[in-house]
Amino acid sequence: MADEQPGLFGELNPPPAIIPSAPPYKSGTPFLPGLKAGEGYPDIKDCQELQAMARGCQRCILRSTCRQVVFGTGSLECGIMFVGEGPGKDEDEQGVPFVGRAGQLLDKILTAAEFDRPEVYITNVVKCRPPGNRLPNPDEVKACRVYLEAQIRLLQPRLIVCLGSAATQAIIDPKARISQVRGRWFARAGIRIMATYHPAALLRNPDYKRPVWEDFKLIRDEYRGTGGQSSAKE
């Protein structure tokens, strides 16, 4: 994951200036840091085709150690994408991201923030379960990020929410520390990005619940402000 690459936003302190908004991918420049032009399957026309390609992927060893590819779920037209780290045991069994304990907590957070889960899009940085539910290693992230790049290009969300360190470093900056960047808006190619703690971290440390709730209130308000529709009646 090109850890030696200088931070895309310097030291991430003070908060960076917003990158000028422009329609993503028009210039052929990849969205994710570290990718080269032409990576991310730019010729793929829809998510079904991309998902079929991911199911046959052998780019890293994870496919040989898991049961199935956990690609993504939710609305393709919602305007907001939540990106976690990688599937766990329950996700590998069901083929759906965020269905275990962390996923159930995410559902509660989404409901509290007035999102309906079927109306948002949820995926992970890596699509195959790392053994023992460990974090994906940099080589695995590097191998799999072409699918995430293509997902972002196809969905063209207005907002991306990074759940956890792996997603934060894959999307915002390879050197980002989630404790330093969470709750702050970044932007690239017209897409606004925020990082927050992974729901699994809240299960281990309840002290994270308050900052995550503060982050989700900002996410909810930004989603409404950019034209997204909340399921809750005012």
Would you write out the chain's pLDDT as a tens digit for each of its 234 residues?
Answer: 333 333 333 334 333 333 333 444 555 689 999 998 888 888 888 999 999 999 999 999 999 999 999 999 999 999 999 999 999 999 999 999 999 999 999 999 999 999 999 999 999 999 999 999 898 999 999 999 999 999 999 999 999 999 999 999 999 999 999 999 999 999 999 999 999 999 999 999 999 999 999 999 999 999 998 444 433 333
Q: What is the pTM of this model?
A: 0.85
pLDDT of residue 225: 86
User: Which residues partner with 188 through β-bridges?
Assistant: 191
Place of tokens 């895309």: 8
Domain 47-225 sits in CATH at 3.40.470.10
Place of tokens 């962390």: 102
* CA angle (126 as vertex; 153, 81 as ends), nearest 5: 45
pLDDT of residue 89: 95
- What is the distance between the alpha carbons of residues 48 and 54, in angstroms, rounded to a whole number? 10
pLDDT of residue 43: 85
86, 135 Cβ separation under 8 angstroms: yes
pLDDT of residue 39: 85
